[in-house]
Amino acid sequence: MFPFGHGLSYTTFAYGDLEIEANGTGDTASVAVNVTVTNTGDRQGDEVVQVYVQDVVGSVTRPVRELKNFQRITLNPGEKRRVEFVLRQDAFGFYDEKMSFITEPGLFKIWVGPNSFEGLETRYEMTDR
């Protein structure tokens, strides 16, 4: 009936200005994911900001959206906050058929939002491991 991560609140929130920045290379690589969350209602409220990742083309079938991180924030009416997540290399990896944890280069979709269905989307191209 409701998407994964759905929650109820006495206020409303808006998401904007989604940006990503790749840092480092190889096993120390990471991706900084930043989004602005605004309380658009007239009451103070808590929001759970969630980050999901999808490996668009992998050597094995992968989930459409995997929850990789989340943060609970409290905002007053009209308040904005920049929320940052750092996804390390292992956030893009998986266990292959031999049960070895691997990371494959390729295209990944990244969503940030209040649940697994809503939110903002961007893409990240991993060129090396």
Would the pTM of this model clear 0.85, i.e. be above it?
yes
Which of helix, strand or coil describes residue 89?
helix
Phi, psi torsion values for 118, nearest 5 degrees = -100, 165
Assigned domain for 6 exists: no
Tally of domains in the chain: 1
Assigned domain for 8 exists: no
What is d(CA 90, CA 55) in angstroms, rounded to the nearest whole number? 12
CATH of the domain at 78: 2.60.40.10
Assigned domain for 46 exists: yes
Closest listed residue to residue 58, CA positions, set 112, 100, 94, 22 = 94
The per-residue pLDDT string of the chain (129 residues; one tens digit each, 9 = 90 and over) reads 888 888 888 999 999 999 999 987 767 789 999 999 999 999 999 999 999 999 998 888 888 999 999 999 999 999 999 999 999 988 999 998 899 998 888 899 999 999 999 999 999 998 765
What pLDDT does residue 128 have? 65
Assigned domain for 109 exists: yes
Contact 23, 31 (CB under 8 A): yes
C-alpha torsion 39→42→44→48, nearest 10: -40
Q: Which domain holds residue 72?
A: 13-126
Closest listed residue to residue 4, CA positions, set 46, 65, 53, 75 = 65
What pLDDT does residue 129 have? 54
